[in-house]
Amino acid sequence: MKLSRIHSDPVLDFYAADLATSLELPLFATGVSAGFPSPAEDYVEIALDLNKELIKHPAATFYARVKGSSMIDAGIEDGDLLVIDKALEPKDGDIAVCFIDGEFTVKRLSVRDDGFSLVPANTEFKPIKITEKNDFLVWGIVAYVIHKPR
């Protein structure tokens, strides 16, 4: 997966999805136990191409690298890579990349009878109430988060 930077922002660096290459990696068909270890079994390897797995709408998919900590309780940390799908319809509870008053941010969408808010996943940050005075756009929905565990 080659990343070509298309925009830099204080919160996110944006990259275009390059699907010109294919890299098939082995995938263990039996899965990996996250509970008790299972007895050794014969397994069959199948090929997996991450471009095909992670990108459902190639013309509408972008990547962004996260800067900051407002979404750490959602498992999104500084330096993580987001796979953003602009073709997905936003709905309540989605994590989205939004453009508000000239800046990008990544937050959880909250749609209520009394209005619309962008909710961080870190108690050190406050929700952002969207009003008609805001220049606002849901730019895309976070489809995947690529996160290094260490």
Find the CATH number of the domain harbouring 113: 2.10.109.10
Residue at 40 is within a domain: no
Could you tell me if 117 and 57 are in contact, meaning their C-beta atoms sit under 8 angstroms apart?
no
Q: Rounded to an integer, what distance in angstroms lies between the CA atom of residue 80 and that of residue 141?
A: 15
Q: Is residue 71 part of a domain?
A: yes
Catalytic site positions: 70, 107
Q: Evaluate whether 55 touches 61 at the Cβ level (below 8 Å).
A: yes
- Could you tell me if residue 131 is inside a domain? yes
Which residues form the domain of 134? 3-19+56-146
Number of domains present in the structure of the chain:
1
Predicted confidence at residue 5, as pLDDT, reads: 58
- Residues 47-105 pLDDT 10s: 778 888 888 998 899 999 999 999 999 999 999 999 999 999 999 999 999 999 999 99
Residue 129 in any domain: the answer is: yes
119 in a structural domain: yes
Model pTM score: 0.77
CA–CA separation, 8 and 13 (whole Å): 4
